[in-house]
Amino acid sequence: MKTSRLARTLCCLVLVLGMRPVWSANDTPVELQMIAHEALDGDPGAQLLYGLAYLNGREGLKPDAKKAVYWLRRSARIGNAYAQLTLGNCYAEGRGVEKDPQQAVLWWHKAAEKDNPKAQYRVGKAHLEGDGVSKNPERAVYWITRSAEQGNKDAQYLLGKMYYEGYNVPYEKEAARSWLSRAAGQAHSGAINLLAVINGMVDTTTKVYQQSAKVLADKAEKGDPQAEYELGLRYESGAWDVNRDNKKALLWITKAANAGNRIAMKTLADIYQHGDLGLQADPGKAAEWEKRASQRPPAQ
């Protein structure tokens, strides 16, 4: 089937400009009609554009998620990877269709197999969290790594964080620093914050990590800020003889931060910024902890 020059050109624009339909103010509704004609004629690129136009309310169209899903599905069925990714997102969000995590993963997986990095990241996170698919640490690491290798900054950040925490991968500080540096180079705020934490670690941190959970807990109970922070990280990752527990992780990291541990403050800023440990994202608290971490300690 031949694709019109218009549809091919617009598809190229979608690829170059972040996969979003972009029309200038000089474009006319006639061009949208031509896209619609190509979509009806079976062109997957035009179907994607038409679906995105309905999804985002572009070119004079009223947003209509159900119609968007109709066109996205037609494109996805033919094999368009970005349509598959977007259709998966619609199922994940319940946008235009009933929310269905399993269907979301199904469509993301199709796109991931076509090397779409955003879909690979989504599939990896789904396996990591057991959302729409059974938990599978090996598959999670596989897909997140593939996405990170293609430059997806969210995947790079998550992979770096996993290496830093020893979560489903061996604890490797250099690997963590490497992936976080790549994400930070793309202005990922979480990666920038966590990289600052890692680079600020002192040698005694390693010694604290090597202590048993009981010894570390005893020190934390006595108010040692470094022990409080390290104990919180253990509960966050479920490493070094403790079970993963988000509430205890937040408790001990907060104690350490309130006791003046600047690394704990930066960690809390990152937690609140991204809504980690089961919390709702809270930019206000994130900014508050970031500010406290940047303040100079009082003169002794």
Band of pLDDT at residue 200, cut at 50, 70 and 90: low
The last residue of a domain, from among 99, 125, 160: 99
Q: Which of 11, 165, 9 is nearest to 75 (CA)?
A: 11
> Domain tally for the chain?
2
Give the end of a domain, one of 82, 99, 116.
99
Share of the chain above pLDDT 70, in %: 83
- Average the pLDDT over 5-18 and give the result: 44
Please write the tens of the pLDDT for every residue from 80-100: 999 999 999 999 999 999 999
Q: What pLDDT digit, counting tens, does each position of 261-300 carry? A: 888 888 899 899 888 888 889 999 999 998 888 775 443 3
Nearest CA to 110 out of 129, 91, 135, 138 is that of: 91
More confident residue, 208 or 293: 293
Residue 191 has pLDDT above 80, yes or no: yes
Q: Is residue 164 part of a domain?
A: no
On whether residue 3 sits in a domain, the answer given is yes
Amino acid at 15: L
Query: Cα 264 to the chain's mean position, in Å?
Result: 22
Let me know: does 88 contact 106? Beta carbons within 8 Å: yes
Mean pLDDT of 153-163: 93
In a domain, 180, yes or no: no
Our measurement of the distance from residue 260's CA atom to the centroid of its chain's CA atoms, rounded to an integer in Å, reads: 30
Among 53, 75, 99, give the residue marking a domain's end: 99
The CATH number of residue 242's host domain is 1.25.40.10
Note down the domain range covering 266: 204-294
Q: Which of 289, 290, 272 is nearest to 281 (CA)?
A: 272
Joined together, the tokens standing for residue 284 give 């206000």
> Is 271 part of any domain?
yes
Q: Is residue 126 situated within a structural domain?
A: no
Helices first, then strands: H and E counts in the chain: 17, 0
- Domain-located, residue 181: no
Domain for residue 74, yes or no? yes
